[in-house]
Amino acid sequence: MTVLRSFDDLFARPPASRYEGVISSSRYLPMRDDTKIAVDIMLPKGTEGKRLPTVLVMARYWRSLKLRIPSPPNKAPIGPREDVPKALMARGFAVVIMDVRGTGASFGISQHPWTPEEVSDYCEVAAWITAQPWSNGRVGAYGISYEGAAALRLTTCGRPTVCGVIPQEIEYDIYADIVAPGGIFNEAFMRAWSTSNTLLDSGKPSGLFPRLARLMTKSVRAVDEDKDGALLARAFAQHKGNTDIFAAMRAITFRDDPFGNTGVTLDDMSIFPHEDRIAASSVPVFSWASWLDGATAEAALRTYRRHPNPQVVVIGTWKHEMTHDGSPYRKANGPAHPPKQRQWDAILQFFDQTLAQDAPPQGKVIFYQTLGTDTWKRTEQFPLPQSRVETWYLQPQGGFAPQPAPTGSAPDRYVVDFKASTGLTNRWHTQMARPLVYPNRAEADKRLLCYTSAPLAQDMEITGYPVAYLDLMSTSEDGAFFVYVEDVDEYGVVRYITEGQLRGIHRALKEILRPDEAPHVPHHSYMRADASPLPIGEFVTLAITLQPTSVLIRSGHRIRIAIAGADAETFTRIPAQGQPIIQVAHTSKVLLPVVE
């Protein structure tokens, strides 16, 4: 067993590069219902006659590309992902990449993401791998986003041959983490993702591919036996039966609303229904996430808290593909920390330990980077045991302080500005293969209702889940409420830290606290039966949990709480018509998890 004492231990002993070149083939594998699944099989040249550990990738966005120029000989097929397979094969791993059911060159229909049929396909392909003469009987999986979520689901197969998985930048709760954070429809992402999938499933390059990749790519690559493309055309014809993702998603308001005509809800697509099977597998899990990429940090932390599996979690500040940094304290779009090669070394080392040496990491540990620093920290518990929750209050004249406001002060009036926006390079847009850049928010904040503290007398580290309790009154029965935590430096530069949001009709609190959750974090069910319109003319309290974060706010800087009623270029407008006016009382407060 391997014990990880420091962040550098993650990539201290990656396996050495030993092989050059690849023996590549592709074929259809018939599943239990005769649906043909397209797979690429890649073996390192020079390993003939050897039994190899194998890494499986379950691809939603094509396993490999048919290029407009001839593919180079003796090379792995090019796919729309970083070239980790090449690095794996150089270290003696076999790599198998499959187009999931209803996508790419595979046959079948995709009724919704991660259907039971699709996950069963993962298990069948993994079983097929271990029956091959070139397999050592041990299989792992990795991937970013959809492919990472598929990797975690591979542990539900109940097969002892699945020995290690690396889910990167995934969602745990499909409703709350990506489709409707805070119950507010993530319209920009769902529209772009649905459009992209429709193009890919018909054999056309996605508009989310980089421009050069779109120009160089004809389609998904057919399998070797499909010389004339007839099988590929039949697969595309079947894909026409795939569910229109955007149409189904936009009709969902509540967690228990059906997804189109499929007979399932978003909960059925989430990780949490599989918790028992993941735990029973005891498969080691190596999760990667970012404080600034959607809700991926929350997904990694929830996976960590809810599963007893051996686990390593790494939370950085990178964009969705983990190639560039997104910290507002560093140069925009700079290199990721750690850089790509170090990330790959960590992947190689983990798979070497779990698939080749049978010496997986021991216990559970989290490594995380604190915004505003270059420091990586280690903990075995999150929220941190050394943190305390401080209560800060909104004040008259836009103040923010750790003591209650004077009694009797008049509430602040805010006319909702539906042009307010966090831009096109925010934490939700980076999941569309866009940069992650939060520029100076000083100008954007002029559209928001802001509360700013006095300069801090000493450094303050906030690590955990901030929670806002807004006492407010609205002229509308519904609305979208956004709360941002920001850092204002001595020059007036405003840096985004984190955010939370809540739709007004979801305001009812539910007592669903689990022992593994933060004790100060409120919960909402988002269920139709719990809908509670805002009473016009009455003050109510909205409890809004913000995305987890870790930030060091320096002495002399000020903490800002900014409140909005819209994020115009990301979330759907609520209400669709009119311009509500809200009043915010100074009894409103924000709980900040401060590290001693």
Q: Which residues are catalytic?
A: 145, 293, 320
Provide the β-strand partners of residue 561.
Answer: 451, 485
> Does residue 275 sit in helix, strand or coil?
helix
Do the bridges between strand 449-452 and strand 558-564 make them parallel or antiparallel, or are there none, so unpaired? antiparallel
CB 280 within 8 A of CB 309: no
Residues with Cβ within 8 Å of residue 339, at least 6 apart in sequence: none
Residues with Cβ within 8 Å of residue 352, at least 6 apart in sequence: 14, 15, 91
E-strand stretches of 396-518: 399-401, 412-415, 449-452, 460-464, 467-474, 480-488, 494-503
> Does residue 152 sit in helix, strand or coil?
helix
Structure tokens at 226: 């499909």
Which runs of consecutive H residues, i.e. helices, occur in 211-289? 211-216, 230-239, 245-250, 275-281
Rounded to whole angstroms, the Cα distance separating 475 from 494 reads 30
377: exposed, middle or buried (C-beta count within 10 Å: 0-12, 13-18, 19+)?
middle
Of the candidates 141, 172, 156, 185, the one whose C-alpha atom is nearest the C-alpha of residue 269 is 172
> Does residue 54 sit in helix, strand or coil?
strand
Query: Position of tokens 């599989």?
Result: 274
Residues with Cβ within 8 Å of residue 403, at least 6 apart in sequence: 393
Rounded to whole angstroms, the Cα distance separating 61 from 335 reads 25
Structure tokens at 264: 């399932």
Q: State the sign of the Cα–Cα–Cα–Cα dihedral 200, 202, 207, 209.
A: positive
Provide the β-strand partners of residue 162.
Answer: 139
CB 591 within 8 A of CB 389: yes
In angstroms, what CA-CA distances link 424 with 118, 180, 185, 431, 532? 32, 18, 16, 11, 32
Structure tokens at 270: 């989430």
> Does residue 471 sit in helix, strand or coil?
strand
Structure tokens at 56: 């499986």
CA dihedral 285, 289, 291, 292 (to 10 degrees): -160
573: exposed, middle or buried (C-beta count within 10 Å: 0-12, 13-18, 19+)?
middle
E-strand stretches of 221-380: 285-290, 311-316, 364-369, 376-379
